[in-house]
Copies of this chain bind each other. A is one copy, B any other.
Amino acid sequence: MSNSEKPDEPDANGVKPRSRGRARPNRRPRMEDVARLANVSPMTVSRALRYDSPVAEETRKRILKVIDEIGYVPDQIASGLSSQRSGFVAICLPSLNNSHFADTLSALNRRIAEHDLQVLIGHTDYRSDKEEKVVEAMLRRRPEAIVLTYDGHTPRTRALLQASGIPIIEIWEQPKDPLDHVVGFSNHAASYAITSRLIQDGYTRLAFLGEATDDGSRGAARREGFLQAVREAGLDDTRLLYAARAPITMSDGARAVAGLRETWPDTDAVFAVSDPCAFGMISECLRLGISVPDDLAIAGFGDFEIGRLSLPGLTTVGVDADAIGRKTGDLIIELRNAARAGDIIAAQHVDVPISILKRGSS
């Protein structure tokens, strides 16, 4: 409250104040305050807070006691500026309302939190123009690594990322033209595999249920994998059904059943771009008295919990979302350690295996 001691008050003789600094009333305690009360220099306080620095045990105790008493909370913004380490790992996801991305995020967070890193999340809403904005915002925060799902990036996004000098990790896909590191699997190959399995099982009139706008995305890769399998088997490759724009929901799957029965009524199997919409189809079929899989087989993608509990169980592609997060975290720590040691690491490509899970729906 008392500002009578402020050194830069203009005095009555018209002498100009020397300092053009800012007024600083009632601020929260700084490291300097701790230092004064503990009779040490600020630098020693700084050291006492990092448990790898040499500080006498007694000194540290005294400092920690003061910190506790006055409720000092270190300012990581200042710390970041000085040390040039933000402590952030940025991750761009199309949506969080997807238990797989949520799992990947949780696993990643768990991994990097052990190393005092925090995640900075961005939502792209499955739109590359939004991804560009999100990436720009993230770069201003100087993250120590940037994680992105591969869904096609704008040229500007690619340029910004590559010019940043920050390690980039693309996940949930094996892009043909990766920006840098990769932790994922081939959506194309996985779709090819499950479609082939349906064909092996005797289905001959197969349809694909996908998203309306999927250019360059994982959804497109899944469609192409489906098409390749169908074509190689010499089957009809025209049965492509597009529901809502990504993310496609359970309800979208339910609604798609009508369109399917109308356009290609003799379809005997559907491969849906993700489990939730496949479940929606199953649910709607039961409602309409269409037997699954006798009248119509249904397969999904992702092995979400819903596919395990549905009746019948959902045939699907098993993806270990948790492992993607864990391995991404491991890679980030590895890259960080290497960078500290001054090493330069070549782009890593980590493959996360998938599996085909045959259940009652096919």
Measured in the bound complex, the distance between the Cα atoms of B162 and A81 in whole Å is 27
Measured in the bound complex, the distance between the Cα atoms of B86 and A123 in whole Å is 20
Measured in the bound complex, the distance between the Cα atoms of B78 and A279 in whole Å is 49
**Nearest neighbor of A253 in chain B, beta-carbon distance:** B309
A140 and B286 within 8 A (CB): no
Which of B95, B102, B159, B287 has a CB less than 8 Å from the CB of A311?
A: B287
Known: A14-B163, A73-B139, A140-B75. A283 touches B305 (CB 8 A): no
A120 contacts which chain B residues (CB < 8 A)? 118, 120
Which A residues between 46 and 90 are near B, CB-CB below 8 angstroms?
71, 73-78, 80-81, 86
The A interface is mostly helix, strand or loop, or mixed, namely: helix
A76 contacts which chain B residues (CB < 8 A)? 140-142
A96 contacts which chain B residues (CB < 8 A)? 96, 102, 105-106
A311 contacts which chain B residues (CB < 8 A)? 283, 286-287
Known: A106-B123, A309-B254. A77 touches B81 (CB 8 A): yes
Measured in the bound complex, the distance between the Cα atoms of B74 and A249 in whole Å is 38
A119 contacts which chain B residues (CB < 8 A)? 121
Question: How far is the CB of A222 from the nearest CB of chain B, in Å?
Answer: 22
A: which residues have CB within 8 A of B? Answer: 14, 16, 28, 71, 73-78, 80-81, 86, 95-99, 102-103, 105-106, 109, 118-121, 123, 136-137, 139-142, 159-160, 162-165, 249-251, 254, 279-280, 283, 286-287, 305-306, 308-311
**Nearest neighbor of A137 in chain B, beta-carbon distance:** B118
A136 contacts which chain B residues (CB < 8 A)? 73
B75 and A77 within 8 A (CB): no
B162 and A249 within 8 A (CB): no
A163 and B77 within 8 A (CB): no
Which of B102, B106, B162, B165 has a CB less than 8 Å from the CB of A102?
A: B102
Measured in the bound complex, the distance between the Cα atoms of B306 and A332 in whole Å is 36
**Residue of A86, A96, A251, A279 with highest tally of chain B CB at under 10 A:** A96
B140 and A74 within 8 A (CB): yes
A165 contacts which chain B residues (CB < 8 A)? 16, 28
Q: 14 A–B contact pairs at CB < 8 A?
A: A74-B140, A95-B102, A97-B99, A97-B103, A102-B102, A109-B123, A121-B121, A249-B305, A250-B305, A251-B308, A279-B309, A283-B311, A287-B311, A306-B306
Question: How far is the CB of A12 from the nearest CB of chain B, in Å?
Answer: 11
Measured in the bound complex, the distance between the Cα atoms of B200 and A317 in whole Å is 45
A118 contacts which chain B residues (CB < 8 A)? 120, 137, 141
Measured in the bound complex, the distance between the Cα atoms of B137 and A47 in whole Å is 18
The 10 closest A-B pairs by CB, nearest first: A76-B140, A97-B102, A96-B102, A283-B309, A77-B80, A77-B81, A73-B139, A71-B163, A250-B309, A81-B81
